[in-house]
Structure 1
Amino acid sequence: MRLNSRGQVTIPPALRDRFGFAEGDEVEVIADGDSLRIIHADSVLSRGERIVRRMRGQATTSHIEDIRKLLHDERAD
């Protein structure tokens, strides 16, 4: 990985997926001894809460029907 002239690096997709980072997320860079850590700025939220926040307002009518079916099936168990 190479630091560019603006001090930026690209986090590889596998690591972004593994740690739940997505385009538009707010992050903090924290000094941790001789290392730097990149964390979610709103780290009090769980990964699921961050995903829901990112997806809010993007569902289509067909998605909503699928979600209703899934929720109905889960309650039946």
Structure 2
Amino acid sequence: MSATVTTKGQVTIPKQVRDFLGIVPGTRVDFNRAADGTVVITRADKKPSVGRFATLRGHAGKGLSTEAIMALTRGEE
């Protein structure tokens, strides 16, 4: 994606980027220079968007004890 800078130094953020970051009119953004010289844009007013797999992370519960798992693998009940 690319954008053109106006004579006033303004750039329109591409729609795909706005949608990904949840940027709407009035949203503040930060521009940060990375170690490799690239510039990264992030929302200034909240945490960055989570990745598509982040919502799948979690814990299923306490689960079985080691003894119970060993009993199952040995065929004991």
What is the TM-score normalised by the length of structure 2?
0.49
Relative contact order (C-alpha < 8 Å, sep 6+): which is higher? Answer: 2
What is the TM-score normalised by the length of structure 1?
0.49
- Richer in helix (by share): 1
